[in-house]
Amino acid sequence: MIQSVAQKMASDLVDRRQAINRELSRNGVRFGIYKNGRYHDQLFPYDPIPRIIESDEFDELEAGLKQRVNALNAYLRDIYSDKRIIHDGVIPEEYVYTSEGYFPQVNGVTPPAGVFAHIAGEDLVQGEDGRWWVLEDNLRIPSGASYPLFVRDIERRISPKLFRDVHVRDNRAYPLLLRRSMDFVSTEGISVVLTPGRFNSAFFEHAYLAEKTGAVLAFPEDLEVEQNKLYFIDYSGSKHRVGVVYRRLSDEYLDPFAFNADSVIGVPGLLAAYRAGNVAIMNAPGNGAADDKAIYYFVPAMVQYYLHEDPILHNAPTYMPMFSADRKTVLDRLGELVIKDVAEAGGYGVVFGSTLDARQREELAEKIKAEPRRFIAQEVIQFRDIDVVDPVTGHHEPRKADLRAFVVSGPDTRVWYSGLTRYSSVPGQMIVNSSQGGGFKDTWVLAGPDTPTMDEFAGEKISVAAESARHSLSLLTASKADNLYWLGRYTERVFTTLTRFFPFYDHVMDTDVDAFRPFARALDLPEDFEDFDAFIQNFLYDPGNPNSVRSAMDCAFNNAVILRPELSSRVLQYVELALSSIADASSRSSDAEDIYDQRDVEDDMLAFWGAIENSVVDQTLKSFLFIGKYLERLDLYTRLKATGPELKPPMTKLIGYAVTLDGMPVPECFASGLRWLIGQLPGRGYPELAETLKRFQQGFSDRVTAAALKPLSEISAMNLAGPVHTEANGAGDADESGEVDASVRL
């Protein structure tokens, strides 16, 4: 069999699993979870043994998935318009109108191009007899496509011979399928991916798909409705019409005017713009009426009713407690069935009756009797185990696994030649969701003898890349201007505080035990430590100290991840590497050699800046970042009593980057940062530098004026002077010549 050959050859990936996991880590392939009210970013566990599906088998799956999603789209069009399926008695109306996902606010609204479920995530399992069963339809905001998409690129590069020899269908078309759907339904204007924020569990995917599709990653505050049209507002206040929103937040939070009035992550008036036909929303509001777990029961009937076809894919045998006969079956067999709360998701609200004792079964039975609409019951399908590599022993171990297949609707209905295979981390456990501790693996769809491995959209990749570049050049919000500025400042803070710390460290090692105190004083670090080791722990690793290197690195990371679409995953990996390095070192902080390991962090910062400079990122975005960087360098250098010759390079760089912004408005964070620094410099003994920056400020106030800035580039080191030593500003003792002691000078 082709599959057995592929499995044998895929063993090469098992040997490379550590390298692949390192690549996933350095690229920040994460998901977030909340524990005890706190958000935690964590890597999504990856297993190198792929799920392999043969070509003929997938062809049947593909036909069944298209059929199912087409029927679901027809159902949504119907229940929000004529409601024929209710009038004809196929689905009882109480099931439709009592669904938590049904929203009368969109009744009578047909989305642009008539598509409701643009992206469907179909959860399937394969029984031990090889038959595939659909467990759930996810038509609201299904997530997970980014993980196999990302890991396949790593696999291809880390084991190229494998992918030359095994005919695996290419999976790189997903962003193109998504973009085709966006363009097909767009009304007029740009495409945006709407994220609720940095601390959403799927934020990595939001940013990554924006990067890959060329859409703009937007936060709710970046959007505004005016006269029933949606606009994206850039940092200068200019408005850009939005034609399509790929929303990644739930219906109830989408628009506080129409849904939950308490929502602070929605866009006021968005639903009015949608109802007026002025913007497309992917997926459409109200789609929850079709992926309610109780409505799942009726999907085979939908296929027959709308398409006049027999269903290709099978539902798991399901019982509806709302029907008296089914309710009796459920109550009689409660210990044998799996019970699902129809309003829950992510593996929550799923109870296996066999795990309950007599008292618990009785309590659940009472709930079912009281609220029969709230539950469904299903036969337990003994689905196939798939081997995973035990991360501790390295042995192959069987685990339960499902498959989330992605179906994209636009000009036509397409099934992605891949999918997210999720597996349980616990032997025998049947809940595989990432929120429940599960991991993921790649899904290989094999190509038959006459099936091409490449998709027919391969030639369109260039156009998507060009679209991505266009957006990253012109559409920048005020919040992202802040992110760029602070990313520049925090990466510089990490680099300079580390590089300037080592001379002080050497003096301590040379028995001057208090040599660290001037350094601490200059950077507003605590000085009241019993010994130098305690200072090291606080300065390098303490996330609770806002002036520590670890805190600066955390802040740099939090600003960086938001900028993935603008700066690219390739560039941001250096920030990921630096964060990983300092986190690893903090766990071994008692080891002396970890001080030397901080050089890796410095190198990562240099690599990050170099990658920015040599990338295709627009010069405007580069300038925003490097202006922040060099303002921070001037701040730190003057704190640590740099000389005029040391101050000239960062001043020259600051001017050079500012000149490139000629005629552009100045973000407030830049102007306020400059004002603050000017106010600090006289007290530090740098009146000449303060005067120079005041002249710089004249060309860098409301709008950048290159003509006023360029003469400053000829400034000499003598015009920057400093430091003028006073009792108020001295960080060290002056010798007889008036020079500051070298041990505390940069």
The DSSP bridge partners found for residue 361 are none
CA distance 670 to 697: 10
pTM: 0.87
% residues pLDDT > 90 (the chain):
57
pLDDT in tens, 74-112: 999 999 999 999 999 999 998 899 898 999 999 999 999
In 79-196 the beta strands, taken as DSSP E runs, fall at: 119-126, 132-138, 190-194
Contact indicator for 6, 168 with CB cutoff of 8 Å? yes
pLDDT band at 745 (very low <50, low <70, confident <90, very high): very low
Rounded to the nearest angstrom, the gap between the alpha carbon of residue 239 and the centroid of all alpha carbons in its chain is 25
pLDDT in tens, 204-223: 999 999 999 999 999 999 99
pLDDT band at 284 (very low <50, low <70, confident <90, very high): very high
Please provide the distance, in angstroms rounded to a whole number, between the alpha carbons at the two ends of the chain: 68
Residue given tokens 């929550």 in the structure block? 348
pLDDT band at 367 (very low <50, low <70, confident <90, very high): very high
Q: What is the average pLDDT value for the chain, to the nearest integer?
A: 86
Give residue 9's pLDDT: 65
The residues spanned by each domain of the chain are: 1-316+381-445, 317-380, 474-714
Q: Could you please report the per-residue DSSP string of 491-536? A: HHHHHHHHHHHHHHHHHHHTT-TTTHHHHHHHTT-----SSHHHHH
Asked if pLDDT for residue 729 goes beyond 50, the answer is: no
Report the CATH fold assignment for 317-380. Dna Ligase; domain 1 (3.30.1490)
Dihedral (Cα; 199, 202, 208, 209), 10-degree rounding: -130
The average pLDDT across 597-608 equals: 89
pLDDT band at 434 (very low <50, low <70, confident <90, very high): low
Give residue 615's pLDDT: 87
CB atoms within 10 A of CB 644: 18
Best-predicted range by mean pLDDT among 32-36, 164-168, 326-330? Answer: 326-330
Asked if pLDDT for residue 278 goes beyond 70, the answer is: yes
pLDDT in tens, 476-498: 888 999 999 999 999 999 999 99
Rounded to the nearest angstrom, the gap between the alpha carbon of residue 665 and the centroid of all alpha carbons in its chain is 29
Among candidates 405, 564, 464, which has minimal Cα distance to 179? 464
The DSSP bridge partners found for residue 74 are none
Higher pLDDT, 454 or 377: 377
SS3 label, residue 341? strand
pLDDT in tens, 658-699: 999 998 888 889 999 999 999 999 999 999 999 999 999 998
Give residue 726's pLDDT: 46
